Structure 1
Amino acid sequence: MRGSGVSVWRNLGERTVYENRWVSVNMADVELPDGRHLDHTVIRLRPVAVATVVNQANEVMLLWRHRFITDSWGWELPSGGTGEGEDPAIAAAREFEEETGWRPGPMRLLLALDPMPGISTSHHRVYWSDTAHHIGHPEDAFESARREWVPLERVPDLIAQGEVRSANAVAALLLLQHLRLR
């Protein structure tokens, strides 16, 4: 609840520890409600655009991929960083096409989320479409081992089995399953 009478943490300034075109790692001088100060790491990232398509058979296009950072395999949605000034809906459609070889229809905002608001400005906007047509081999086929149309009814089981680990995919897939199968 915003403005619930509870004192807030205040960012009094930041210094950059590391920066490249994708990320900035900063140390913030934070004043706590009781007046104490602490250094707090802040990871600033470009906004992320995520895309999903649910076809007429209530199947969703998913990518099966390995993430070297966690050394894990799982189902994910196509996604990527948005360019400076790029419309996130256009970025989501571009990522979907590049990573799947399918061109989505008009993209609509499904949800926006901040997966790690305690440390990161990683803002994710998830878009969805109910149409797509195959245009050929994915331009970025190296990003996943395979691409499959997966029935939405399987989503809860895939999540429970740990096969969908990405926070944006879990949130988006559960919401789509709820909206499409109720």
Structure 2
Amino acid sequence: MRWKNLREQTVYENRWFRVNLADVELPDGRHLDHFVIRLRPVAAATAVNDANEVLLLWRHRFITDTWGWELAAGVVEDGEDIAVAAAREMEEETGWRPGALRRLLTVEPSNGLTDARHHIYWADEAVYVGHPEDDFESDRREWVPLKLVPDMVARGDVPAANMAAALLLLHHIRLG
């Protein structure tokens, strides 16, 4: 059953997103007003070192008032390559420059409300280049043993679904 988006009207926008009101036709012909949040792509990156530790940020999210482990992430600028954006975000937020990035996965974290796509990358090496430029993004940055990831996710220490999915896949790839 396919819903048809007949038209959208922007009700609010800024540099990061637009809120649109869509006129949606349901399969039975009825119409539904549905809010849609249009977002810029998000790029995220991390690295796993030779000791199978993954570089993570411990941060607070004021919207949900929760603390949790995350990967460095941010919006892709206009015209910017997604992998380049992921590397930039990792360096700005952690102080570590990733080696060659590999695509891990792309997820749509809330596709019933938003068109957001999160593109997540990883590297098997990183070089420390100094204190992070965006140190306000997190309380601390740590190399966390990848073997702990499943228990961290199960406990809720990785509350963001996109980050949990990425870390569980990375755990599977590296530790099988």
Normalised to the residue count of structure 2, the TM-score between the two structures is 0.99
- 1:47 and 2:63 are equivalent in the alignment: no
Return the alpha-carbon distance in structure 2 between the equivalents of residues 169 and 117 of structure 1.
16
State percent identity of aligned pairs: 67
Structure 1 match to 2:28: 34
Return the alpha-carbon distance in structure 2 between the equivalents of residues 78 and 151 of structure 1.
17
- 1:79 and 2:61 are equivalent in the alignment: no
How many residue pairs match? The answer is 176
Return the alpha-carbon distance in structure 1 between the equivalents of residues 78 and 62 of structure 2.
27
User: Letter of the aligned partner of 2:150 in structure 1?
Assistant: P
Shift of 1:161: 1.1
Long gaps (5+) in structure 2: none
CA offset digits 1:53-82 (Å, max 9, x no partner) = 011110000000000000110000000000
Normalised to the residue count of structure 1, the TM-score between the two structures is 0.95
- 1:119 and 2:90 are equivalent in the alignment: no
Return the alpha-carbon distance in structure 2 between the equivalents of residues 168 and 140 of structure 1.
21
User: Letter of the aligned partner of 1:11 in structure 2?
Assistant: N
User: RMSD over aligned Cα, in angstroms?
Assistant: 0.6
Structure 1 match to 2:138: 144
Return the alpha-carbon distance in structure 1 between the equivalents of residues 133 and 162 of structure 2.
23
Return the alpha-carbon distance in structure 1 between the equivalents of residues 46 and 174 of structure 2.
13
Aligned mate of 2:18, from 20, 24, 47: 24
CA offset digits 1:76-113 (Å, max 9, x no partner) = 00000000111000000000000000110011111011
Structure 2 match to 1:68: 62
Structure 2 match to 1:100: 94
Return the alpha-carbon distance in structure 1 between the equivalents of residues 156 and 49 of structure 2.
24
Return the alpha-carbon distance in structure 2 between the equivalents of residues 166 and 54 of structure 1.
20
- 1:58 and 2:52 are equivalent in the alignment: yes
User: Letter of the aligned partner of 1:19 in structure 2?
Assistant: E
